[in-house]
A and B are shown apart, each in its own frame.
Chain A
Amino acid sequence: MRRTASGVLMAVLAGATLAGCSSQAKAPTAAPQVTDRLGVAYDTATASVATLNGAGANSIDPFFEKVFYDYHSANSKTTVNYSPAGSSVGAKDIEQGTVDFADSEIPLASTDLAAATGGAILQIPVDLGGVAISYNLPGVSGGLKLDGPILAAIFDGAITKWNDPRIAAVSGATSLPDIPVVPVHRADSSGPGWDLDSYLLKTAPAWGAKTGASNPSKTWPLTNVGLGEQLNTGVANYVHQTAGAIGYVEYGYALQAGFTNSALKNQSGAFVSPSLASIAAAGTQASGLSATNFSIIDEPGAGTYPLANFSWTLVYQKQADRAKGLALGKLIDYVTTTGQRQAGPLGYAPLPAAVASLAASTLQQLQTATGAPLFQ
């Protein structure tokens, strides 16, 4: 438990937080606990004060910010700090136990899970997002269509000008300007990077030869081409201010920035632009979703956007501090249920019903320090 109130997202309640630090020991004691059940509102009267620190995916930040804000407005005893420093940061922080929860678009692999210092980690899907291929071409208001091989040629430096006939051949856009193509990748490792790498590996035969890898990587594999920028924000800002730039950013960020995005060819051969509907369509393609079977890249369907992914929140199964564990469980419960209403306006698709129930059943596995179930 944080003993200080720094980093409190809502300073208005800094006082309450400090008070809570001293009182949190006297956790709810007796009586029938509505708080002990998932799927019902957190009882603000019996809830204990908690500050929850999280770190992780940058892509989910706009959604988290809004949902945490709403949650705090309704449950002022829970304060959430989220550091959107990147999913790998989150993964490392949860492994080291320096945060209460983390978030990553790519669930942790078994080797990473084994490195965790606090025991078993639960991975809970919390949102469904897409990765936009955004570009900045003055005078071109949209209509760009790309497939895997051309996108690969752009990101491996083979295509250097926008009026390259190869782009025109795929996209059908013949009047693209004679300006340099500036591909922007993430300088940090990222979920969107993994998604795009995965898409290119699946659809562009030459890509794997260029990168020398057969498995997708969160670290962008070709760092010697184009420009590296930190986080979605860095890529988005660069695309925003530079004519000729093209980069991959979380759809929510592209929406916020008002970018024009390319349509991508999916497994069925259809060119689909990112939108709530096309990302939701990708979500419905998931079958048997789990932390080890999570990819929804390049799925079939006439309206399926090929660059989509779920984002996963990571928590320790055993919560040493019961009161905090309850607060954390209730928070994630809210995010995966009521909070999903906030997804659409921010550029995320609500979780499909099957995934929402996976989230609920995973949350149900939370335990106290002794291994007893945290929630009834």
Chain B
Amino acid sequence: MTAVTLDDVSVTFGAHHAVRHVTLRLQRSRVTALIGPSGCGKTTVLRAINRMHEQSGAIVTGTVRLGDVDIYGPGIAAEHVRSRIGMVFQRPNPFPSMSIFDNTVAGLRLAGIRNKRLLREAAEQALHHAALWDVVKDRLDQPAIRLSGGQQQRLCIARALAVQPEVLLMDEPCSALDPIATAKVEDLISRLVPDVTVVLVTHNMFQATRVSHDVAVFLLDEDRVGELVEAGPIEKVFSSPADPRTRDYLSGHIG
């Protein structure tokens, strides 16, 4: 079961190729980790999946499909894509002027849902799901930025989940967190499936091992452009990589 299909996807910024010729299937209800050294286009690919790169003027070629739908196809709105493919960022970014509750339901409100009871229930659901409910249930009206960093990140996850996306993109969600908070978020990620398909960008091999089912390895080619070297179930790729470059990379990092 494929949730998202990338077919010969290349991303350019002006004349500069960031990543090219990526063909990848992301399996439904699994966590796929995108790994590789810095600057090899992991985040670029991730942002191509929910069309976040349009804002920064990137050109995406090839096709990206959510189920059967080409998300860059004619008549498909970027906003629509993004409400079905959620995203969590490197640094927690709750809306600083909003309360915890308002942050959680921000996506729903944006979608035009105004029913108070509905919002309340959805918020509770999402906060439960993000393992934050018990921490914040008594202070939902407080500003979100009073939460600690790890809590903020889990709030951001709750915010993304509240919209009930099919896919959740996570761009190094623990890179700004300390080990304890990281453990909690990792724990949370592994609980998100099977409801959501997760795509996780990470620098950290151990994190990939801990939370993901599949892995896609990105490296720089000879032109210093990112490319997808190998993808597959994590045990297989990590134990017996098919590509020698993967092996070199992994041995430098794990072995």
A–B contact with Cβ pairs below 8 Å: the answer is no
Residues of B within 8 A of A (CB): none
